[in-house]
A and B are shown apart, each in its own frame.
Chain A
Amino acid sequence: MGIQGERFIRPSAERVEDAALLSGGGRYIDDLGVRPGTLHAAIVRSPHAHADLLSVDKAAALSLPGVAAVITGADLVGVTAGLVPALRVSVDARAIAVDRVRYVGEPVAIVVAADRYRAEDGADLVNVRYRSRPAVVDPEAALGEGAPVLHEDAGSNLMSDRRFRYGDPDAAFAAAAHSLAVTVRYPRNTGSPMECYGVVAEYDPHEDAYDVLANFQGPFSIHAVMARALKVPGNRLRLRTPPDSGGSFGVKQGVAPYAVLIGAAARIVGRPVKWVEDRLEHLAGSVSATNRVTTLTAAFDGEGRVTALDWDQLEDCGAYLRAPEPATLYRMHGNMTGAYAIPHVRIRNRVVLTNKLPTGLVRGFGGPQVYYPLERLMQRIARHLGLDPLEVIRRNLIPADAFPYRTATGALYDSGDYQRALDDAARHGGLADLLDRRDAARAAGRLYGIGFTAAVEPSVSNMGYITAVLTPAERAKAGPKNGAQSTATVTLDPVGTVTVQVASVPQGQGHRTVLAGIVADVLGIPAAQVRVTTDLDTAKDAWSIASGNYSSRFAAAVAGVAHLAATRLRDKLARIAGAQLNIRAEDLVFGGGRVSSRTNPDASLPFARVAATSHWSPGLVPDDVGAAIRETAFWTPPELTAPDAEDHVASSLCHGFIFDFCGVEVDRATGKLRIDRYVTMHDCGVILHPGMVEGQVRGGFVQALGAAVYEELVYGEDGAFLSGTLADYLLPTATEVPDLRILHVESPSPFTPLGAKGVGEGNCMSTPVCLANAVADALDLDNVDLPLTPAKLRALVAEADEPPPPAGHRSAAPAAKAGDRTLRGAGATVVTASPEAVWALLLDPDVLASVIPGAHGVNKLSDTHFTADVTLGVGPVKGRYAADITLSDLDPPRGATLTGTVSGGLGDGGGTGRVTLEPDGTGGTRIGYTYEAAVGGKVAAVGGRLLDGAARVVIGGFFAALARRAGGADRTGPLRRLLAPLLALMGIKS
């Protein structure tokens, strides 16, 4: 059989996806119509990191016209179950709180109404009472004695503790000339696609079946988890995806709990329900990557050759362990030695829960958390031995003649020539020039550094790797799990045109374009004659648990299986054409839209006619061929075996290689990081579409830049979420992106049909640590954690620049503890009234009502206890709060302590202040005050940047009003009076 014109690579092929997307014709989930009568949901979420859920009062919300239902976790206990993780633990991982909340943003109630505006009105009126509990956000603290336990049934916050041993690490460490450890606290970040989650669900009570449309991205192993959570068999959860999806980067796996929630809500109200997530919900309540505390120790010789690694990884999965977690911790298990030939490895993997958002898929998935310590360690070894870091990397690389190479922990690296990639990158990326630039910059007194990173980029995950969290005995009992089924269907219609359906669920990666080209090449027809659909319907399309768009599996697995399906169909068509032309199938070629004899071009048939034969003239189809109408192929690589009894884990099929280097400069005055040059060398096997590979590399690089420098999902010590807007969670923009030099070498994968490997996640793994290595080089640091913000780098520069304090000297102002969000302030004002008169004013509810900013009324419960309704605005968030104020430590008329709390739908806060009244010597009074306060909930999430200023304005406003009421201090000039409001705004007393 001849294969003519089989090329697959179309450097300039424009995307079939683009015209509609550029014209406003995309079909994202919120662009699709809904059935008449569809209701809209808004979700009430917890403002507390950890609290008992005492009561949910629905009455006010239900009285609002248009509100159909308010559904609580208790209402859903009967119709839903938890989203079970891969690990048997006593954690009820429901999608909604029942009697306790464990992170800020956790769903507490669903308000279903005629439209979204009314649903949100209703959500504002749902009155939830909480009793707060101590929260724990730090993974190490969560393991400590006396730490708050999130799930008492589980006994502690430790969900899993597994130890692994490969080779003889004890002997290697004992024999090593040197040993060195790094400890890394990898922070939380997320993919933050521009489109948030969306779900439209309905329930058919007659068949007990759900129909759910969601912008889910897979893996479809989660379909089984969702069906179980909805308490129906798999065939009664029909899950569909929209034709277009606005980005995912792993994150849209996390729509699964919401698909369950909205499905259950539709069941309860008996109508279709639609929910579209907003950005605050997305940042607080979608999916985060794990934060991880890692101590990595190496045994190495005087040349920097590493003989053994000891990993201690503490993985923080947030408040609940939900499927597919703790997969982030095990995705890299076969790759724990990176690009290096290191024979002896010891690993301890622990999984802990804290009062933060549950974790899930985020681009890079486990890779950044592993390469950061590994590549920091390689640089530290070079520094320790006084060697060139590039030389230490080179000495440890897996040799080119060792492939396929079995790593100590069980992965089978398919192909590569790492040394060549290094050499090519150094030469074509201008390393020598960069070293000169560093010398010149340093000679001029500037802070310039160079970083290197070598990383292996795994792709096509083995569905069985997660079972490594179980012991071999537990695995043996459960039965082996392995493989990665990919599938494609190629269909011929009655006019002989071709449709391809795959279960790859892309979010902009151009799968339709690439597949049209591959199938067209196999069938010898123009790509424009092939139409590809990628929206999935689990009731009608071929799919399996590995389906979806994750672990960079498209080029390696999905494109290959589409090729396989097209080839099978072509072989059938060849036999049909051969029968009509009386030519052996082996002597036919497909090209130019015809099926022709290899030797006699006159003997040929139009492709469309051959392709239509099985529809119109099945009598012409040879008996042993069968109908050539539709071919569905499944493919799973035999290399993806189940974890063995010694815990060897073939976690992925393909292994690309990345070598990055960069030059950076840190501004001594501002701490701003400037990337002078960044070079990234990739070996992703055969490149199917160079334009799209470049797009994956550039996009991944900029996400990694964000994770390295700008982005962090920040939680306060008390669990308050502080990154609720895109003005707090900073994504890089066009003005922050440096020039990126992309280079390639090509080692085809022998394990994939087309020789391709994944390429989309590599820079998310390599770039953060490459930048950190460069910063460490620039500032001469042993330790540095992400993100590399100007404030952090400025402090590190200052530390290095300032001479050490003399012995015995104590710093006057100890640095604030990390995560301490206490608002502190002080002020004073002078009034003409006497201290006694001011004292009387302070205890008069009518006076308080007129001077408390935004107060609607003050109730005096006792001489020292007041309540009030106040309206306060912080930045974009204006809300009504109930305030409760107590006076204590009374020292009339000299001083009193005010302790107060405010609570409302938008958040809560509390604080104390001390007011002092002193005679000013001229009959008036000097009023002084100091305060400490903390704020949580939505206000903290979206207004965190403004809180300090807002507190000063509100508290300053109170005393300014009190001063006016007490006769004011008319001792200021006209200019100062004019400026007073402005000064007050800036927190300066007037």
Chain B
Amino acid sequence: MPKLSAAIRHSVAFTLNGVPRTVEVEPRTLLTDALRHGLGMTGTHVGCEHGVCGACTVAIDGAMARACLTLAVAAEGCDLRTVESLAPAPGRLGVLQAAFKRHHALQCGFCTAGILMSLDTYLRRHPNPSREDLTLVIGGHLCRCTGYAPIVAAALDAAAELRGTSEHPEDAAHA
């Protein structure tokens, strides 16, 4: 990795939700700030900035990652996905999102984007999760409103529905 000067801004290029994007950042700029304030993608939230709460979770090259612990310059050339990618079309919801809505799996919605991204990433690789598997994935996030039970229920419901649909065909084929 090249050494970047702290005195100037650098252009970082990556694919964001399938679209090539570039953003100007300082070497120290966090990926959360680059997404939110550099690119206006405010769906990724900042809850603690020390990697515990999980609200900022995004997918980087198909793996879940805390955007608050990632420098934006480290995302150069990566494939990023955020919560804005989950809906199949404006005004519609994907399977996982719809399950959250059905089960009242959110209240204030602040932690939700991160939980959705962790579950989406996980379910693409593990189409047959147990309740315990999903509880562990959700256990990497803090939600202060729901008490978690409806989130686990929504995740289980979504996993079952996804097995019967083709929403993740390319990933399920690898699993």
Contacts and interface: CB of A to CB of B under 8 A. Distances in A.
B150 A695 contact: yes
Contact of B100 (A18, A192, A725): A18
Secondary structure at the B interface, as helix, strand, loop or mixed, is loop
Interface stretch (A24-32, A459-467, A495-503, A638-646): A24-32
Contacts of A981: none
Interface string B35-47: 0100001111111
Contacts of A701: 147
A216 to B, nearest CB: 15
Q: Which of B100, B138, B142 has the most CB of A within 10 A?
A: B142
A698 B112 contact: no
Nearest to A875: B50
Contacts of A942: 50
Interface in B69-124: 82-84, 86-87, 91, 93, 97, 100-102, 104, 106-113, 116
Contact of B150 (A24, A28, A698, A731): A698
A695 B146 contact: yes
Given A22-B100, A702-B148, A726 B53 contact: yes
Contacts of A191: 144
Contacts of B49: 278-279
Nearest to A28: B110
Contact of B139 (A703, A727, A734, A876): A734
Interface in A136-185: none
Interface in A190-242: 191-196
Contacts of A195: 45, 47, 108, 110
B42 A21 contact: no
Interface in A509-529: 509-510
A508 interface: yes
A942 B50 CA distance: 10
A811 interface: no
Q: Which of A22, A26, A694, A727 has the most B CB atoms < 10 Å from its CB?
A: A22
A193 B144 contact: yes
Given A246-B109, A740-B147, A23 B83 contact: yes
A772 interface: no
B109 A508 contact: yes
A630 B34 CA distance: 44
B22 interface: no
Interface string A556-592: 0000000000000000000000000000000000000
A177 B87 CA distance: 69
Contacts of B111: 194, 246
Contacts of B41: 24
A14 interface: yes
B83 A24 contact: yes
Contact of A24 (B53, B82, B141, B144): B82
Interface residues of B, number: 55
A15 interface: yes
Contacts of A21: 106, 108-109, 112
A23 B135 CA distance: 22
A25 B106 CA distance: 14
A18 B149 contact: no
B131 to A, nearest CB: 10
A193 B141 CA distance: 13
A19 B107 contact: no
B50 A22 contact: no
Contacts of A795: none
A8 B93 CA distance: 27
B28 interface: yes
A21 B109 CA distance: 5
A702 B146 CA distance: 8
B42 A510 contact: no
B128 interface: no
Given A195-B45, A279-B48, A22 B109 contact: yes
B86 A23 contact: yes
Nearest to A192: B144
A698 B146 contact: yes
B147 A725 contact: no
A740 B46 CA distance: 30
Contact of A733 (B82, B104, B148): B148
Please name the 6 residue pairs, one residue from A and one from B, whose CB atoms are nearest each other, closest first. A24-B43, A508-B108, A246-B110, A21-B109, A698-B147, A508-B107
16 contacts: A19-B93, A21-B106, A23-B93, A26-B109, A30-B46, A191-B144, A194-B111, A194-B143, A508-B109, A508-B110, A694-B150, A699-B147, A726-B142, A733-B148, A734-B135, A734-B141
